[in-house]
Amino acid sequence: MNRVWSMAESAPHCGSCNSALPWVVDTSDDTYTGIVERSQVPVLIYMCAPWCPPCRRMTPILEQIAKDLAGRVKLVEVEVDEAPKIIERLAIRSVPTLIVMKGGKALATHVGAAPAVIVRSWAEEVLV
């Protein structure tokens, strides 16, 4: 079993075969800077809430995208009720919200739930 450190600077790889591993982590107000802003890999931030039905539908879509884009993106889940400073900092007004960041700078934002094909297309377009 591979251990993936959430604050590592580069994408994780399998210790046996060296293939890229999906990188899915949670963050909070305390760990945001280390996990998001210091990442050398583009970050797909997923603002969500457990009480939000659209968020529950988006979670497996985003986890699959993280698997498919292993080595190219870090999926960071932010539970909005537990991260008020992040919500204020990024001016989040609704969930689910997706933000692609690179080098601590926002490249693109997508607000609202969408089918897998639209989310994947949006993410791949931004990450190219």
Cis peptide before 96 (omega within 30 of 0): yes
d(CA 77, CA 27): 6
**Encoded tokens for 30:** 């305390």
8 A C-beta contact, residue 112 and residue 96: yes
Catalytic-residue membership of 48: no
Catalytic-residue membership of 52: yes
Cis peptide before 115 (omega within 30 of 0): no
Active-site residue among 14, 17, 48, 52? 52
- Tell me how far the alpha carbon of residue 9 is from its chain's centroid: 15
Active-site residue among 14, 17, 48, 55? 55
Q: What residues are labeled active site?
A: 52, 55
